[in-house]
Structure 1
Amino acid sequence: MAHNNSQQETALHPTYPSHDPIERSELRIRDPYIVEYEDRYLLFGTTDPSPWHGPGSGFDRYESDDLERWRGPFPAFRPGPGFWGETQFWAPEVHFYNGAWWMFATFADGAGRRGTQVLAASAPDGLFQPWSEGPVTPSGWMCLDGTLFQDPSGAPWLVFCHEWLQAGDGAIYAQRLSDDLRTSRGAPVLLFTASEAPWTRPFRNEETGYDDLAFITDGPFVIHDDAGLALLWSSGGEGGYSVGVARSSTGLITGPWAHEPQPLVGSDGGHAMLLTTRNSSFLVFHQPNELTFERLTIRLVAETNGIYRVPAADADYSN
């Protein structure tokens, strides 16, 4: 799709700012998530300048016609008075479910208790508001990066990470949600721990004083494909922050899950999602992983018989 200049964009879409669009290579964002909506790509992600230690100001949204040049930022969520989350506003995902649009995002309170909250909006390019009764992850757990999954009956599940800071060996769980996404239902189901994958490597975080080796789990994203169910997720590997692929041997979210022996991306980049659009599939993630240098990264993905690969050389995907 051809890109219009900023003056034309402002005339067509009065809410767009008049400044020049941002090139993808210059767009700083962590944990990117892209939704296609009304012939536009909407980009969400962790956008606070200091996402670990500063107060959370909210989430921003960017918009593009071609995945290369982005307009924004536009506000996607701003916390109101009394909102429980105070810091660590991370990894917003936006999903269409049951006729409405929902954001699943990570927040932490002043004591560092972290979980996934559900927010709602009438459209994905609107302003989201809190919806669930606080976090829908287990009370007392340090959790992050919840994503929505619907089973064959249409029932909603939250797939999320149990943080290594509390679990040591970070884990990914599935939790049944109420049909209205207000609360959770039943006990969470363990899918796997990070150390089960052959490509992951442990680390010792001296900053936190954690004495034992730990394994990270980040960014689960469920893929429905012809072979059943696959799951993207991130951890530490030989090349640093990496993206791995697991597959359910039963085709059910509860698994059991088997891991590809090598990561899909194994060099300083992660927290990925799969964007399927216009007969192509793209891996969307941030790279590098170093604070203030992370950038929106989009790579073509090839899939054969349920095996995913990122080609060594990217083809041109601009529209």
Structure 2
Amino acid sequence: MRLPDMPLHDPFIVADEKTRTYHLYTSNDPSVSGVDGTGTMVYRSHNLRDWTRPVAVFLTAQQKGIWATDGGWAPEVHEWDGRYYLFTTLHSRSKPLPVPPPGQWGTPFQLANHMRGTIIAVSDSLLGPFTVIDPSRPTPPEHLMTLDGTLYVDPSGQPWMVYAHEWLQTIDGTMEAIRLAPDLSGTVGDPVFLFKASDAFWLGEQIPSGVPHQLPPYVTDGPQLYRTPDGSLLMLWSTYEKNTPGQDGTITGGYVQTYAVSKSGDLTGPWQQHRPLVRDDSGHGMLFHSFDGRLMMVLHRPFDNARGKLYEMQLLGPELRILRRRADLDGGG
């Protein structure tokens, strides 16, 4: 299979040096994995162009007592202490959350407030099967509506989950972080605020003159952390330009891949926002190194019926730039 033929959303690639194999994780799609159910599947490749048919590595239906069976969004796999840990976002519409009282924007933003958050599952293999560590609740505080949790390990070796706090609950979505236990089995302490979506200065440039800046929604999606050679901390994240809220809690607008930099190198920032790297309804990207040492970015485009797109990247100090689009690998489009 090649990327133009591979349904995928929120791609995450693990370049496994031991087997010289790229593992591309995405939400399970029964039409290509051949397995029904909410979960995670993985494609594999030795050259980033030719991929195996995917295999399912995590299914919610196989997790005894799990709190939610919908979603399966934004899966990613991290090696930690000799094992592999899957992070993926689940939700349950049957478990409503308290919502703030109606305000300036009325009720449309309160319709979808229900339990949503990232779970952590573990396996001894990149190919699973992965077993959820705590089936009773998401890892971030369960009263918060969150998504897209990712692993970050600070210079002292302390693991964190960085996640997006949903605009559905906050109107101005935020990025937050919470410490994890050494075995990733739970959290320690309270969440830490990192930045809010409207901190992206260029979003205000999309609003017509005379319209208040605080227009909902401001979305935070897909945080991914990367330590640069100069010691800065870089975060890829996604949002929407020219947002239009719908009555069902959905939004329309241009999905974009952007990034922020903490020049202090600290997770708490301060975070400096940068202009988008890729527009054209693209986003939820992550960085990885190819086996020949190139810094690469994978993202999906378009948001609906998504396919993977690959870019060769360059770091100039803390600044991230695109060197070239790898249409030879992702088939163009």
Query: Structure 1 residues 303-312 or 122-131, which shifts more?
Result: 303-312
* Shift, 1:58, TM fit: 1.4
* Shift, 1:106, TM fit: 0.4
Amino acid at match of 1:75: A
* Shift, 1:102, TM fit: 0.4
Q: Of residues 246, 252, 259 in structure 1, which corresponds to 2:266?
A: 252
CA distance in 1, matches of 2:329, 2:25: 20
Where do residues 23-34 of structure 1 align in structure 2 (5 Å cutoff)? 23-34=2-13
Is residue 2:216 matched to residue 1:213?
yes
Q: SS in structure 2 opposite 1:70?
A: coil
Is residue 2:160 matched to residue 1:176?
no
* Shift, 1:224, TM fit: 0.8
Aligned to 1:84: 67
CA distance in 1, matches of 2:128, 2:192: 33
Q: SS in structure 1 opposite 2:168?
A: helix
CA distance in 1, matches of 2:24, 2:272: 30
Q: SS in structure 2 opposite 1:113?
A: strand
How many pairs are equivalent?
283
Q: Of residues 232, 238, 245 in structure 2, which corresponds to 1:234?
A: 238
Query: Structure 1 residues 230-239 or 97-106, which shifts more?
Result: 230-239
TM-score, structure 2 normalization: 0.80
CA distance in 2, matches of 1:103, 1:201: 36
Aligned to 2:227: 224
* Shift, 1:264, TM fit: 0.9
Q: SS in structure 1 opposite 2:157?
A: coil
CA distance in 2, matches of 1:317, 1:122: 30
Aligned to 2:85: 102
CA distance in 1, matches of 2:265, 2:178: 17
Q: Of residues 200, 203, 206 in structure 1, which corresponds to 2:203?
A: 200
- Shift in CA distance, 230/87, structure 1 to aligned 2, threshold 3 Å: same
* Shift, 1:237, TM fit: 2.5
Q: Of residues 277, 297, 308 in structure 2, which corresponds to 1:264?
A: 277
Query: Structure 1 residues 73-82 or 142-151, which shifts more?
Result: 73-82
CA distance in 2, matches of 1:197, 1:165: 18
- Shift in CA distance, 197/91, structure 1 to aligned 2, threshold 3 Å: same
Give me the CA root mean square deviation.
2.3
Aligned to 2:23: 42
Aligned to 1:13: none
* Shift, 1:99, TM fit: 1.6
Q: Which consecutive unaligned segments of at least 5 residues does structure 1 have?
A: 1-21, 204-211
TM-score, structure 1 normalization: 0.83
CA distance in 2, matches of 1:253, 1:218: 17
Amino acid at match of 1:274: L
Aligned to 1:305: 317
1:155-207 superposed Cα distances (whole Å, 9 cap, x missing partner): 1000000001111101000111111111111111110000001233699xxxx
Where do residues 34-183 of structure 1 align in structure 2 (5 Å cutoff)? 34-37=13-16, 38-48=19-29, 57-79=38-60, 80=62, 81-109=64-92, 110-111=94-95, 112-132=114-134, 134-183=137-186
* Shift, 1:138, TM fit: 1.2
1:97-152 superposed Cα distances (whole Å, 9 cap, x missing partner): 11211011100123331011110000112211101363111121100000000011
Q: SS in structure 2 opposite 1:166?
A: helix
Q: Which consecutive unaligned segments of at least 5 residues does structure 2 have?
A: 96-113, 207-214, 243-252
CA distance in 2, matches of 1:273, 1:126: 21
Q: Is contact 1:119–1:129 with CA below 8 Å preserved after alignment?
A: yes
Amino acid at match of 1:240: G
Q: Is contact 1:284–1:298 with CA below 8 Å preserved after alignment?
A: yes
1:250-279 superposed Cα distances (whole Å, 9 cap, x missing partner): 11111111111x101122110010011221
Q: Is contact 2:310–2:325 with CA below 8 Å preserved after alignment?
A: no
